[in-house]
Amino acid sequence: MTASSGTRDQWQPPRWPTSAEGAEAFRDWLGDPSQPLYALDLDLRGADLSGGPFVESWFSRSNLADTTLRGIELWAAHCEGTRFIRADLTDADLVRAVVRGASFVRATLVGANLRKADATDARFTEADLTRATLAGATFLRADFSRANLSDAVVESTSLLDAVLVDATVTGMRGTVRGPVEVVPGVKLDGSELEQWFGARGAAVSVLRTQSV
């Protein structure tokens, strides 16, 4: 998947980042939007980047806290360690994005697509992932404490050592791999994890690890 050059040529940030360095990075990129944006280690707060076509772009370790990113395209983007705290990522495209160690604490990810994303060690504490697509994604050691996963779709989704303490999973459906920490210090897998999901209104099957 790639964004067309025409789409990129026509896009402008609804609101620029407050910092001079952050705004400059976008202005430079808009001079040749056929290339990925390189916006690493920048303060991008204050921005509205909704609908931005950032396919395969780089936001590693940048600060996007409290930004508006509705419908943003981050397909295969690099967002390692990026701060999305309280950001609005409604309907965002994060397919194949690398968000290792990123923070989505209290972020809005309603309807977001994280298919095949790598979210190892990412934090989704109190995030709203209602109707999010998590199929094929890796959430190794990810923290979903008190997150809302209502009606989220999973499919061979890796929740290995992920934390779902006090998470809402009503309507969540599909298949996952565990074990998952459901109470502090307590991990469940297999049929016990399926029963945990079922008791909370989810229709989630747990895939068994095949012996070698």
**What span, in angstroms and rounded, lies between the C-alpha atoms of 22 and 171?**
39
Yes or no: say if 203 and 173 are a contact pair by the CB < 8 Å rule: yes
What pLDDT is stored for residue 211 in this prediction?
43
pLDDT digits (tens, 9 = 90+) for 25-82: 999 999 988 899 999 999 999 999 999 999 999 999 999 999 999 999 999 999 999 9
Note the pTM of the prediction, 2 decimals.
Answer: 0.92
pLDDT digits (tens, 9 = 90+) for 116-127: 999 999 999 999
Residue-averaged pLDDT of the chain: 94
**What span, in angstroms and rounded, lies between the C-alpha atoms of 73 and 142?**
22
User: At 5, is the secondary structure helix, strand, or coil?
Assistant: helix
pLDDT digits (tens, 9 = 90+) for 144-174: 999 999 999 999 999 999 999 999 999 999 9
Q: Which of 204, 189, 105 is CA-nearest to residue 152?
A: 204
Query: Residue with structure tokens 């950032």?
Result: 54
